[in-house]
């Protein structure tokens, strides 16, 4: 697939990837008397991952320097 722009507008680096949101379940441990604390792990629900888009349908991309920008997928690209 191709994007416009295909390089970071801030530093000129190539795309590292697309930003996604994930749903997860933070595992809780019972500590007695109806109280719980975070056990320290989270199970990710990979089937729920979604690429972040803006209202115009552009994809949120990130470069190796952690700069983020929205880019349009070029028509006819895979």
Taking the C-alpha atoms of residue 20 and residue 71, their distance in angstroms, rounded to an integer, is 14
Sequence ranges of the domains in the chain: 3-73
HSE-up of residue 63 (Cα within 13 Å, Cβ side) = 16
Question: Closest Cα to residue 52, out of 70, 29, 77?
Answer: 70
pLDDT, one tens digit per residue, over 49-62 is 999 999 999 999 99
Question: Closest Cα to residue 15, out of 67, 52, 73, 54?
Answer: 67
The average confidence (pLDDT) of the chain is 95
Torsion of CA 1, 64, 24, 31, to 10 degrees: 170
The pTM of the full predicted model, rounded to 2 decimals, is 0.78
């Amino acid at each position: 697939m191709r994007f416009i722009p295909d390089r970071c507008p801030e530093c000129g680096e190539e795309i590292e990837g697309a930003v996604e949101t994930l749903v997860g379940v933070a595992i809780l441990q019972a500590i007695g008397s109806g109280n719980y604390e975070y056990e320290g792990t989270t199970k990710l629900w990979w089937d729920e991952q979604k690429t972040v888009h803006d209202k115009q349908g552009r994809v949120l991309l990130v470069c190796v320097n952690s700069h983020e920008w929205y880019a349009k997928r070029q028509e006819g690209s895979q």
